[in-house]
Structure 1
Amino acid sequence: MTPLQNPASNPLIKVESLCKIYSLDSGAAGNGNGNGNGNGNRNGTVNSQVLFDVSLSIHRGEFVAIMGHSGSGKSTLMNILGCLDTPTSGHYWLDGSDIASLSDDELACVRNRNIGFVFQGFNLLKRMTALDNVATPLLYAGVNRSDSRKRAQALLHQTGLGKFAAYQPNQLSGGQQQRVAISRALVNNPQLILADEPTGNLDTQTSREIMEIFQQLNREHGITIVLVTHEDDIAACTGRLIRLQDGRVVHDAEVPA
């Protein structure tokens, strides 16, 4: 694949004038999307614009929260940052590389090796043990099974789950499952973690524990973290808050210490 560049002067993430428009069949579109930006056309489709001229930069080592009401575009933005979706217009550079210039195979490689994903629903493979869930991205990257499992075991110890390596997800609490998911996100030593509502299914105390893990990863290991949340107390644990409203950035500032 085309290697990601690493010039010190470049932000890790840079987006300029990002727009995203979804074209939906008018029969399935109903009344359009939640922010009321659906526009019909003659061929029976509805164009629903979700992001409008979004521009921002995120530097290495930042811990950033993205907030906004449902329909604000935050999940769409996260999908674009994670190379899971493409903008309709605008530009996205990750570590100095223009993502639009990469092939599908190269994008898959970037997702596997450069980005760690953590989701609200954990997204663990139910029939696999915690150890094998964590090791799976390494296997896709071509690492042999023995080395993959050693690395996975070390990360489970790091997140406090070493003795649960042989457990399957249904034998673990929500907080433990999220720790497994965080371990999996870290297994390929990514430079960026994208976390989409990682505490959304957790109680208050467990949410604090998960955020302490993220803070430690950011503070002690310098990992860049971008986190979507609805919760003010979760955003307060980060260093910078970006707020979206109707697909536009309406606030971007450091979080008060």
Structure 2
Amino acid sequence: MSSIQATHSANPLIQIENLCKSYSLQDANGKTITTQVLFNINLTINQGEFVAIMGHSGSGKSTLMNILGCLDTPTSGSYWLSGRNVAALSSNELAHVRNQSIGFVFQGFNLLKRMTALDNVATPLLYAGVNRANSRKQALEFLRRTGLENFAMHQPNQLSGGQQQRVAISRALINHPPLILADEPTGNLDTQTSSEIMLLFEQLNRDQGITIVLVTHEDDIAAYAKRLIRLKDGHIIVDKNNTVATTLHEVT
């Protein structure tokens, strides 16, 4: 579709070919009604890219994000992540991929309310089999990197929205995943805090080479990404370098 896709390397982090997604439901009369959400999506994302996916409600962006995160499966087509065919993976293998290869950041933070910030960040390591002492030691280091070392023993309700999102980002990073998926990560934050969170994403992408795929409906948030993809009615209608981001960085 685009010149961007044509320039990608032979070993991309994400490779999607002719992907379609539909859902089937039965109406009151028992008739099956099928609704197609994604149509023949072709998408390549290389390691180290910072991509914003935009689209109005119902465009298919959240469905695409769920498939990228191995939380949902396509109806047809293929999805390769780090050279692995996701459709061929077992449930246990998919769980391992979600734990080790993908970091998730959500609009609602999704922190465990009765746990401290430290234990929230340490949780993925515990699932990976790391003992509690070592997992908490590593978690404290990641909280330090995001400026929250002094809030390690606070519970989520004792933190501001921006602090909670930094905890969520620390948790997403704890297993050193090559890919961060962020779904409306600034949706519950004020303008100043949103800018701080996006600058953190920008730094992670620039300094550590982490691939970031961000879903947003806000132009000012998408402006931080280097590549812009727009969905409409389940189709990719735009896939281009983000000139807004280039201009923004030149000005700043």
TM bracket (short chain): over 0.9
- Separation in structure 1 between the aligned mates of residue 184 and residue 79 of structure 2, nearest angstrom: 23
**1:169-180 alignment, distance < 5 Å:** 169-180=156-167
**1:188-207 alignment, distance < 5 Å:** 188-207=175-194
Residue 125 (structure 1) aligns with: 112
Cα-to-partner distance string for 1:4-59 (whole Å, 9 max, x where unaligned): xxxx73110000011000112324xxxxxxxxxxxxxx842221110000001000
Kindly provide the amino acid, as one letter, of the partner of residue 125 in structure 2: L
Residue 21 (structure 2) aligns with: 20
Residue 36 (structure 1) aligns with: none
**1:177-256 alignment, distance < 5 Å:** 177-256=164-243
- Separation in structure 1 between the aligned mates of residue 220 and residue 191 of structure 2, nearest angstrom: 10
Residue 44 (structure 1) aligns with: 31
- Separation in structure 2 between the aligned mates of residue 243 and residue 139 of structure 1, nearest angstrom: 37
* Runs of 4+ more than 6 Å apart: none
- Separation in structure 2 between the aligned mates of residue 154 and residue 12 of structure 1, nearest angstrom: 27
Give the total of aligned pairs.
236
- Separation in structure 2 between the aligned mates of residue 56 and residue 183 of structure 1, nearest angstrom: 28
Q: CA RMSD in A?
A: 1.0
**1:53-202 alignment, distance < 5 Å:** 53-202=40-189
- Separation in structure 2 between the aligned mates of residue 82 and residue 222 of structure 1, nearest angstrom: 19
| More helix by percentage | 2
- Separation in structure 2 between the aligned mates of residue 66 and residue 205 of structure 1, nearest angstrom: 22
Kindly provide the amino acid, as one letter, of the partner of residue 116 in structure 2: T
Identity %: 72
Residue 37 (structure 1) aligns with: none
- Separation in structure 1 between the aligned mates of residue 198 and residue 26 of structure 2, nearest angstrom: 40
- Separation in structure 2 between the aligned mates of residue 15 and residue 26 of structure 1, nearest angstrom: 32
Q: CA deviation at 1:211?
A: 0.2
- Separation in structure 2 between the aligned mates of residue 69 and residue 86 of structure 1, nearest angstrom: 22
- Separation in structure 1 between the aligned mates of residue 165 and residue 171 of structure 2, nearest angstrom: 10
1:201 alignment partner, SS class = coil
- Separation in structure 2 between the aligned mates of residue 201 and residue 152 of structure 1, nearest angstrom: 24
TM-score, normalised to structure 1, is: 0.90
Kindly provide the amino acid, as one letter, of the partner of residue 17 in structure 2: E
Kindly provide the amino acid, as one letter, of the partner of residue 15 in structure 1: I
Residue 250 (structure 2) aligns with: none
Structure 2 stretches of 5 or more lacking a match?
A: 1-8, 247-252
Cα-to-partner distance string for 1:34-93 (whole Å, 9 max, x where unaligned): xxxxxxxx8422211100000010000000000000000000000000000000000000
Q: CA deviation at 1:233?
A: 0.6
- Separation in structure 1 between the aligned mates of residue 32 and residue 159 of structure 2, nearest angstrom: 45
Structure 1 stretches of 5 or more lacking a match?
A: 1-7, 28-41
Kindly provide the amino acid, as one letter, of the partner of residue 76 in structure 2: S
TM-score, normalised to structure 2, is: 0.92
Cα-to-partner distance string for 1:197-223 (whole Å, 9 max, x where unaligned): 000000000000000000000000000
1:202 alignment partner, SS class = coil
